[in-house]
Structure 1
Amino acid sequence: MGRTQSFDTDQVVRAARSVFWAQGFEAAALPDLERATGLSRSSIYHAFGSKRGLFGAAVNSYLVEVVRPRLAPLMADPVRPDALEDYLTGLRAALLRADTLPASSGCLLVNTAGAPIGQDDEVARIVADYRAELRAGLGRGVRARLPQLSGAEQDTLANACTGLVVAAFALVRVDPAQAAGALDTARALIAARE
């Protein structure tokens, strides 16, 4: 007969997500995960199979609870014309809000892309899917904001904005002002086409 689970899985995954987000997969030591989650090593392995299994649950939680709510207005039907501006200004504010994981650690998935775990086929697919989801949302925002542009012009602008958002996520850990500047550049590119 198996043990009865005595913890809230969502809370445990959120706690582990914070550790992985701040430290990265490789640097997140099992004692750090034990402290953050309140679980013993054996309980982590029993519930998630491995540190990698816990990381997978944390990444899924990040997508569901952090990424998709921010992208939701860009995925709505219809997309409001101001949804893209709201996304960029909201993201800028989040990246500059002191003492938060977005400000201190950027994006869990952008960080993961450049780490050794990013070479794992499944992780690489998740990161690529995330980037495609981000690009799709920004593309929908561009189309709603600038319907007068040709499809090719909209695609070019959406690609540029996606690159600038990813750059902001990568830069915020070392230079928050430059991260904000990348988002300001995206907003300026859009404003120049209005």
Structure 2
Amino acid sequence: MGRSQSFDTTTVVQSARDVFWDQGLDGASLPDLERATGLNRSSLYHAFGSKRGLFDAAVEDYLDTVIRPRLRPLVTAGQAAAGERAAGRPSAASPEAGRAVVTYFERLGSAVEQLPAGSPRLGCLLVGCATGAAGHDEALRAAVDAYRAELTDALAGALRAADPALADGAVEQRARLLLSLQLSALALARVNQDEAVAMLRAARDQAAEWVPRDA
């Protein structure tokens, strides 16, 4: 007869998530994870199969509860404009889409600014992995690249909605430039929090320059 589970999976995954966020996949030890979750390694392995299984669950939680809620206004704006194009209707510039891009970077900068020094949530869980374990782990490399693509697509969709006259190549270039500032800022956040915030503010200001004047 199988053992019954006596803990809340979401609570355990989010507790482990902060350890991985702080220390990375390689740096997070089983004793660290045991202390954070309140479970012994036997229970963790029974529930998640391995340390890697727990990490994968933590990444999914990170995407679902941290990243995608932030991206939702960008995605919504981009989808609305794409629907108009698919229906054969000319798209008008969307002031809401332009504001969504500016607000995205404003809120991200404020979130980084308000975290206390030494917080495990400074930076980005997946950006941290991109400079460590992802270099020798194909599955993790694919996960980090999918994350990059999701961020790029969200930004590009909103930028396109804000200025439908812009060529696709220009939209993609702008999305890459903004994303490069974001990822650089999050990589720097543990080293120089103030500079990370300044970089996110620079992304906000650049996005504001690209928004049509009537937005």
Corresponding residue for 2:161?
A: 144
C-alpha contact 1:103 1:176 (8 A) present in aligned 2:
no
* Match of residue 166 from structure 1: 183
- State how far apart, in whole Å, the 2-side matches of 1:33 and 1:190 are: 39
1:71 alignment partner, SS class? helix
User: Which amino acid counterpart does residue 37 of structure 2 have in structure 1?
Assistant: T
* Equivalent position to 1:78, from 60, 80, 84: 80
C-alpha displacement at 1:134, in angstroms? 0.2
Give the alignment's TM-score, normalised by structure 2.
0.83
Compared CA separation, residues 93 and 84, structure 1 to 2 (3 A): same
Tell me the SS of whatever aligns to 2:102.
helix
- Greater relative contact order, per chain length (Cα 8 Å cut-off, separation 6+): 2
Question: Contact 2:21/2:120 (CA < 8 Å) preserved in 1?
Answer: no
Which amino acid counterpart does residue 70 of structure 1 have in structure 2? R
| 1:143 CA drift (Å) | 1.6
Cα distance, 1:33 vs structure 2: 0.7
* Residue 34 of structure 1, CA deviation: 0.8
| Cα distance change of structure 1 residues 186 and 131 upon mapping to structure 2, 3 Å threshold | same
The aligned counterpart of 1:20 is: 20
**Percent of residue pairs bearing the same amino acid type:** 46
Looking at structure 2, the residues matched to 135 and 58 of structure 1 have their Cα atoms a distance apart, in angstroms, of 22
Q: Contact 1:157/1:189 (CA < 8 Å) preserved in 2?
A: no
Aligned to 1:63, the other structure's residue is in SS state: helix
Q: Residues 74 and 157 of structure 2 are in contact (CA less than 8 Å); yes or no, is this contact kept in structure 1?
A: yes
1:112 to 129, 134, 141: 129
After TM superposition, which residue ranges in structure 1, 4 or more long, deviate above 4 angstroms? 100-104
| CA positional deviation for 1:93 | 0.4
1:48 paired to 2:48:
yes
SS in 2 for 1:26: helix
| Distance (whole Å) between structure 1 residues aligned to residue 48 and residue 7 of structure 2 | 13
Paired positions, count? 194
Shift of 1:151: 2.4
Q: Deviations over 1:81-121 (max 9, x none)?
A: 21111111010001111228878530000001111254211
Q: Output the TM-score relative to the length of structure 1.
A: 0.92
For the 8 Å contact 1:18–1:101, the answer to whether it is kept is no
Q: Which one has a bigger Cα radius of gyration? A: 2
CA distance in 2, matches of 1:54, 1:101: 23
Residue type matched to 1:52 in 2? R
Cα distance between partner residues in 2 of 1:64 and 1:154: 26
